[in-house]
Amino acid sequence: MKPESDFSFSEPPVETAPSAEPSLHIPFALLTCVVAVFMIAQTVGIFKQRSDLLKGKAQLTEESKKRESVVKQADAIQTGFSDLFMDLLILSKSDDDAKQIISKYGIQQNGQASPAPAETPAK
């Protein structure tokens, strides 16, 4: 062993011949590129899904507003039929024709909820 170090500031560095071992820089660079492409593809896909979701939400809101009038109309018709059947039930108490219609179509009044019993005071 030499007491002096192998490195000297006064001497230029000695160039060594390229080693026979393959470099790991190229596989890591390729792997990094593949991961970057995959992440870019995922990001683009997410942005496309987000824009499709926003378009779907806008369409759903628009269709909901369009159907609001239909729902109101159906509610009005249901209320009209309910009133008509209630009048028919009331009329059936005094009219035989109304009784025949009620028995023929099986029209009946839903059981009305009885009033809630009064709470007993706490002792």
CB 99 within 8 A of CB 92: yes
Instruction: Name the pTM for this structure.
Output: 0.44
Domain boundaries, the chain: 27-105
DSSP assignment of the chain equals --SS-S--SSSPPPPPPPPSSPPSHHHHHHHHHHHHHHHHHHHHHHHHHHHHHHHHHHHHHHHHHHHHHHHHHHHHHHHHHHHHHHHHHHHTTT-HHHHHHHHHHT--PPPPPPPPPPPPPP-
Tens of pLDDT, residue by residue over 43-80, are 999 999 999 999 999 999 999 998 999 999 999 999 99
> pLDDT tens across 91-121, in order?
988 988 888 988 888 888 876 544 455 566 6
